[in-house]
Homo-oligomer: A and B are copies of this chain.
Amino acid sequence: MSVLIVGSIAFDTVETPFGKVEDALGGAATYASCAASLFSNVQMVGVVGTDFPEEHLEVLRSKGIDTEGIERTEGKTFRWGGYYDFDLNQAHTRYTQLNVFENFNPIIPDSYRDPQVLFLANIHPALQLKILDQVGTPKLTLCDTMNLWIDTTRDELLRVLERVDVALMNDAEARQLCETWSLITAGKRVLEMGPRIAIIKKGEHGALMFARTSGGSDSLKFFAAPSYPLEELRDPTGAGDCFAGGLCGYLDYTGDFSLESFRKAIVYGSIVASYNVEDFSVERLKWVSPEDIATRYNEFMLMTRFE
């Protein structure tokens, strides 16, 4: 079984109150793939420039990620620069340089065309549609998106939503897409756009899951999970991508796509995100262990239970 993940691969220059990195390995597909690799086999599709060092590919491969689908193109790798103030929930963008991403035409390698789980990480919805056309019939298809596409390519995004099983987005994006301040209303409206499950990521406030009724499981239609209570975090970049990647990896590993399984997957996604924000880039994910994940899963259960 495997998860196919498509999205951006980037050089991130990030400043937070706790430090700074320049041209560090980043991008939605990078974070999501590293996260998913903690649970399952990952195939990764994206584009990098000639400036992308072999050592970054080595990082991905050391996590067991199949990098055959990473295309190297003449030009510079996609770059993002940004900073966070003490309100670590809010990223401030300094620059976005699309570079090789500008003319990216994703081609899925033949060996990737039959994944169990397909995750369309944040990327232009036109590219997400191209991926959907190239991949057979995954058992589960998920997508993420961002404010820019809701603003500028809404129609294409809606076509993507019609074709996926699960839509992931953050709270601000859900409000913007659904034109409502209420996240509860937004979650329900996303379900009307196509997906059978909508997951709204709320950063430090956790995540909400909305599902369409499916035969008698009404009581499972809504799920609310807090985030892991971290006191020290250094860089929130990629938290949402790690959440999604961890979720996809866990679902692929179990092959169980029931609502009960999604609940656990959301908790695992939150745990991976909580580790990732403890350091810059994907540094922390390099050495997170299965025991680390199990420990926080247990804590998650204890911190949410009541009789």
A182 vs B231: C-alpha distance in the bound complex, in angstroms?
A: 7
The answer to the question of A303 belonging to the interface, with a C-beta cut-off of 8 Å to chain B, is yes
A238 vs B225: C-alpha distance in the bound complex, in angstroms?
A: 25
Q: Residues of B contacting A231 with CB < 8 Å? A: 182, 184-185, 188
**Count of identical protomers in the assembly:** 2
Looking at the complex, which of A68-76, A141-149, A200-208 is the stretch in contact with chain B?
A200-208
- Chain A interface bracket (under 10, 10 to 19, 20 to 34, 35 or more): 35 or more
Q: Cβ of A264 and Cβ of B87 under 8 Å apart?
A: no
- Between-chain CB contacts (< 8 Å), 19 pairs: A86-B181, A188-B231, A202-B205, A206-B224, A206-B226, A208-B226, A220-B302, A222-B229, A223-B303, A223-B304, A224-B226, A224-B303, A224-B304, A226-B226, A260-B306, A263-B305, A264-B307, A266-B306, A301-B306
Known pairs A87-B181, A184-B229, A185-B231. 17 more at Cβ < 8 A? A183-B204, A202-B205, A205-B205, A219-B299, A220-B302, A222-B303, A223-B304, A223-B306, A224-B229, A224-B304, A225-B304, A225-B306, A226-B226, A260-B307, A263-B307, A264-B306, A264-B307
